[in-house]
């Protein structure tokens, strides 16, 4: 398994190598093929340009590296999302998790509630 790159800042996780990603376009010839060499970084976005927007050379699709993950719709830092998932995984209610993590109930990602609580 490829190693992660070094983080610039200790609060942000290191970027995953492109081999960890695959094209999400179902019509693409490289759909769901990891480490096929078809992806490149098209641009960076978000605060501090920390989120990469990837480009599939096969079909031309552009997508965020967060697409399909719990981080897709959140603006919370990765460390806060990890803490929220740990709390929910240990059986804490959404209200207790929000209190422990000092976040509003609405900040707890709905997708994490559904995946952890089932």
Task: Give domain status of residue 73, yes or no.
Answer: no
Banded model confidence at residue 54, pLDDT cuts 50, 70, 90:
very high
Range of the domain at 100: 78-117
Banded model confidence at residue 8, pLDDT cuts 50, 70, 90:
very low
User: 7 with 53, same domain?
Assistant: yes
Domain final residue, candidates 47, 68, 89: 68
d(CA 72, CA 67): 5
Task: Give domain status of residue 57, yes or no.
Answer: yes
User: 28 with 58, same domain?
Assistant: yes
User: 31 with 87, same domain?
Assistant: no
Q: Which two tokens stand for residue 64?
A: 């965020």
User: What's this model's pTM, rounded to 2 decimal places?
Assistant: 0.63
Task: Give domain status of residue 40, yes or no.
Answer: yes
**What percent of the chain has pLDDT above 90?**
30
**pLDDT tens digits for range 13-40:** 467 899 899 999 999 999 999 999 999 9
Q: How many domains does the chain have?
A: 2
| Residue of 28 and 82 predicted with greater confidence | 28
Q: Please report the DSSP string for 7-56 in residue order.
A: PSSTTSPPPPPGGG--B--TTSTTBT-TT-S-EEEEEEESGGG-EEEEEE
């Amino acid at each position: 398994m490829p190693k992660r790159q070094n983080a610039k800042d200790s609060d942000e996780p290191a970027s995953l190598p492109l081999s960890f990603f695959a094209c999400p376009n179902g019509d693409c010839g490289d759909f769901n093929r990891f480490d096929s060499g078809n992806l490149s970084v098209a641009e960076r976005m978000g605060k501090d340009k920390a989120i990469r927007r990837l480009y599939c050379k096969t079909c031309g699709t552009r997508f965020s590296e967060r697409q399909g993950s719990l981080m897709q719709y959140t603006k919370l830092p990765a460390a806060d999302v990890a803490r929220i998932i740990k709390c929910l995984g240990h059986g804490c209610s959404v209200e207790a998790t929000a209190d422990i993590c000092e976040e509003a109930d609405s900040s707890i990602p709905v997708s994490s509630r559904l995946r952890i609580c089932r």
